Structure 1
Amino acid sequence: MIFKQLFETETSTYSYLLGCERTQRAILIDPVASELDDYIDLLNSLNLKLIYTLETHVHADHITGSGLLRQKLGSKSVVHRDAGAMCADLLVTDGVPLQVGDLELEVRHTPGHTNGCVSYVMADRVFTGDALLIGGSGRTDFQQGDAGQLYDSITGKLFTLPPDTLVYPGHDYNGNTVSTIKQEMAKNTRLGGGKSREEFIAILQDLKLAYPKFIDKALPANQSCGLIAQG
């Protein structure tokens, strides 16, 4: 497998390129519109054809590149059916398998940060979007957020994966690139060490975070696969 972890600095967003070496077909998870040229250059340099863009949710902090990549490269966009992005080519649900060449992923519905959050599970790794972060979790104070639901998603859908499963999140603000399920179960400041559902809810209620800087532009744009004018 060809694997590239990509980082957009303004919003500390991770995107992930996965390529099948046998078929030269590829998937891009959570593409950011501002990085479009870099993605195309990378795909060309690796001689890969982009088949799918996979969204972990409708983002509030950046504008997706999925619609532009569809226009330029013919790729198909994938989101959960509850995400509120009916512009997508595939509206998926929990348990749906996705396959591109030898790449196999399973959709796991992990709501709580938003209604339409999903994680993408592979044999040795999981892409958790904004549900489970390294040492933390997504916020739940806007955009259908529900702290109890997020706790249930993480503990029931992610912490049940094998302990050595690699965790690749949608963001990191501290220079971390990867974790494991075992590490997050032990050391995550919001969920680790067996914290209860009530403790998790209390922690998130006490965060007092600022209003998301880009949400007023990002949400409507992402509900149209990034194709609403950004001006």
Structure 2
Amino acid sequence: MKVHQLQVGNMQNFTYVVEDEETKESVIIDPSWDLDLVIDIIEKNNLKIKYVINTHHHFDHTVGNDAMVKYTKSKIIQHKSSTLKNDIPVSNGDKILFGKSELVVIHTPGHSEDSMCLIGDGKIFSGDTLFVGNCGRIDLPGGSGRELYHSLFDVLYKLDDNLILYPGHDYGNSPYSSIGKEKKTNFVLQPRTESEFLDFMGSD
């Protein structure tokens, strides 16, 4: 599984094109701006896009959906709690298959109700749940400090340390990391009780 990581727009977003190298069937994760960069990757590598996948519904991760669907004739996948138009709603534990590759859906609410991460081939695409050195904000509609606490500590913290972390924004000191490195260096992931975490995040 080959990852094409593209920084796009003026909000330091990452769009990903994830390629099954054997079959060239691929998915696009969180298309937003600078779609010419995405199209360039598709054409240079002769890729067939099967799905557009959104890690959550916020506009800076979805504004490119319609244009990419029109260009690639693909279908949109979102978590079942998303309020946006999609073709295939998914739930925790579902598998997204393309070529001979697969991504497993992990529901990680907190930044938004429909936030999800995608895990496959030693990689995790974490959207705005976890960044390099930080985590997603909780003060937008549907955000919840309590839910984010459980997503971070009951789900992501327990994953394989070797998973390569590909976040939704380029907010850290490197464009990608690993679960193990984040557990050691990310101040958000230092052990806290739920109430301590809520105080830390300024939430209740």
TM-score of the alignment, normalized to the shorter chain, above 0.5: yes
CA-based RMSD: 1.5
Q: Distance in 2 between the 1:31 and 1:178 partners?
A: 18
Q: Distance in 1 between the 2:173 and 2:153 partners?
A: 25
Structure-1 residue corresponding to 2:131: 133
Structure-2 residue corresponding to 1:98: 96
Q: What are the Cα deviations for residues 132-159 of structure 1, in whole angstroms up to 9, with x where unaligned?
A: 1111110101121110110101112211
Q: What are the Cα deviations for residues 24-50 of structure 1, in whole angstroms up to 9, with x where unaligned?
A: 111111111x32222112101101011
Q: Distance in 1 between the 2:26 and 2:121 partners?
A: 17
Under a length normalisation based on structure 1, what TM-score does the superposition of the two structures give? 0.83
Q: CA deviation at 1:123?
A: 3.1
Greater displacement, 58-67 / 5-14: 58-67
The one of the two structures with greater contact order (alpha-carbon pairs below 8 A, sep at least 6) is 1
Structure-2 residue corresponding to 1:183: 181
Of the three residues 166, 187, 193, the one matched with 1:196 is: 193
Q: CA deviation at 1:198?
A: 1.9
How is 1:82-231 mapped onto 2 (pairs within 5 angstroms)?
82-85=81-84, 87-192=85-190, 194-205=191-202
Unaligned ranges ≥5, structure 1: 207-231
Q: Distance in 2 between the 1:84 and 1:190 partners?
A: 28
**Native 8 Å contact 1:166 1:179 kept in 2:** yes
Q: CA deviation at 1:196?
A: 2.3
Q: Distance in 2 between the 1:62 and 1:104 partners?
A: 21
**Native 8 Å contact 1:136 1:188 kept in 2:** yes
Structure-2 residue corresponding to 1:220: none
Q: Distance in 2 between the 1:53 and 1:200 partners?
A: 33
Secondary structure class of the residue paired with 1:18: strand
**Native 8 Å contact 2:92 2:107 kept in 1:** yes
Shift of the 80–62 alpha-carbon distance from structure 1 to 2, 3 Å rule, reads closer
Q: CA deviation at 1:63?
A: 4.8
Q: What are the Cα deviations for residues 64-91 of structure 1, in whole angstroms up to 9, with x where unaligned?
A: 2122111122011110011111x11111
More strand per residue: 2
Q: Distance in 2 between the 1:150 and 1:60 partners?
A: 20
Structure-1 residue corresponding to 2:67: 68
Structure-2 residue corresponding to 1:53: 52
Q: Distance in 2 between the 1:175 and 1:202 partners?
A: 26
Q: CA deviation at 1:60?
A: 4.5
**Native 8 Å contact 1:2 1:20 kept in 2:** yes
The residue identity in structure 2 corresponding to 1:188 is: N
Under a length normalisation based on structure 2, what TM-score does the superposition of the two structures give? 0.94
Secondary structure class of the residue paired with 1:150: helix
Query: What is the number of residues matched between the two proteins?
Result: 203
Q: How much identity, in percent, do the aligned residues show?
A: 32
Q: Distance in 2 between the 1:181 and 1:99 partners?
A: 23
Shift of the 29–63 alpha-carbon distance from structure 1 to 2, 3 Å rule, reads closer
